[in-house]
A and B are shown apart, each in its own frame.
Chain A
Amino acid sequence: MTDQALPAAARPRPAWFSLVASPISVIAAVCLGLIIIVSLLAPWLAPHDPVQLVPANRLKPASAAYLLGTDGYGRDVLSRILYGGRISLLIGVGSAIISIGFGLAIGLVAGFFRWLDAIVMRFMDALMAIPSILLAIAVVALSGASLSSVLIAITLPEIPRVVRLVRAVVLSAREEPYVEAAISVGSSLPKILWRHIMPNTFAPLIVQGTYICAAAILTEAILSFLGAGINPETPSWGNIMAEGRAYFQVKPSLIFWPGLVLSVAILSINLLGDAARDVLDPRMKRREGAR
Chain B
Amino acid sequence: MSKTPHRSAILDVRDLVVSLGPGAKAARVIDGVSFTVREAQTLCLVGESGSGKSVTSLAVMGLLPKNILLPTGGRIELVGESLLDSSQRRLRQLRATTMAMIFQEPMTALNPVVPVGRQIDEVLQAHMRLDAGERRRRILDMMEQVHLPDVERIYRSYPHRLSGGQRQRIMIAMALIMGPKLLIADEPTTALDVTTQKQILALVRELQEKHGTAVLFITHDMGVVAEIADRVAVMRHGRLVEEGPIDAILRRPEQEYTRSLLGAVPSLVPRPRRDEGDGAVVLETYDLNKTYQERSLFGGRREVAAAKDVTLSLRRGRTLGIVGESGSGKSTVARCIMRLIDPTSGSIRVAGREISELTRRLLQPHRQRIQIIFQDPYRSLNPRLSVGESIAEGPVNFGTSRAEALAHARELLRLVDLPADAVARYPHQFSGGQRQRIAIARALAMKPDVLVADEAVSALDVSVQAQVLKLLDDIQERLGVALLFITHDLRVAAQICDDIIVMQRGVVVEEGPASLVLAEPKEPYTRQLFEAAPGRHWDFANFRPVEAGAPTPAAS
**Residues of A at under 8 Å CB distance from B?**
1-4, 6-7, 9-10, 176-178, 180-189, 191, 195-196, 199, 287-291
Contacts and interface: CB of A to CB of B under 8 A. Distances in A.
B82 to A, nearest CB: 32
Given A6-B422, A6-B429, A185-B371, A196 B382 contact: yes
B380 A178 contact: yes
Given A6-B419, A180-B374, A191-B397, 4 more contacts: A3-B467, A177-B375, A177-B380, A289-B427
A181 B422 contact: no
Interface stretch (B223-231, B345-353, B430-438, B498-506): B430-438
Q: On chain B, which size bracket covers the interface?
A: 35 or more
A183 B464 contact: no
Q: Which 4 A-B pairs have the closest CB atoms?
A: A185-B394, A186-B367, A177-B380, A177-B374
A288 B433 contact: no
Contact of A195 (B378, B385, B463): B385
B292 interface: no
A4 B378 contact: no
Interface string B366-380: 011011101110111
A3 B380 contact: no
A85 B285 CA distance: 68
B463 A3 contact: yes
Contact of A6 (B379, B430, B446, B464): B430
A131 B401 CA distance: 52
Contact of A288 (B375, B378, B464): B378
Contacts of A1: 463-464, 467
B517 to A, nearest CB: 29
A191 B375 CA distance: 24
A136 to B, nearest CB: 37
B442 interface: yes
A15 to B, nearest CB: 14
A177 to B, nearest CB: 4
Nearest to A5: B431
B128 interface: no
A86 B397 CA distance: 46
A182 B393 contact: yes
Contacts of A288: 378, 383, 427-428
Contacts of A7: 429-431
19 contacts: A1-B463, A1-B467, A3-B431, A3-B434, A6-B422, A6-B434, A178-B382, A180-B374, A181-B381, A181-B442, A185-B394, A186-B398, A187-B397, A191-B397, A195-B382, A195-B385, A287-B378, A287-B379, A288-B427
B425 interface: yes
A205 to B, nearest CB: 15
Contact of B439 (A176, A181, A188, A287): A181
Contacts of B376: 177
B89 interface: no
Contacts of B467: 1, 3
Nearest to B379: A177
Interface in B427-473: 427-431, 433-434, 439, 442, 445-446, 463-464, 467
Nearest to B378: A289
A71 B37 CA distance: 84
B385 to A, nearest CB: 7
A184 B367 contact: yes
Contact of A184 (B372, B381, B425): B372
Contact of A185 (B360, B367, B379): B367
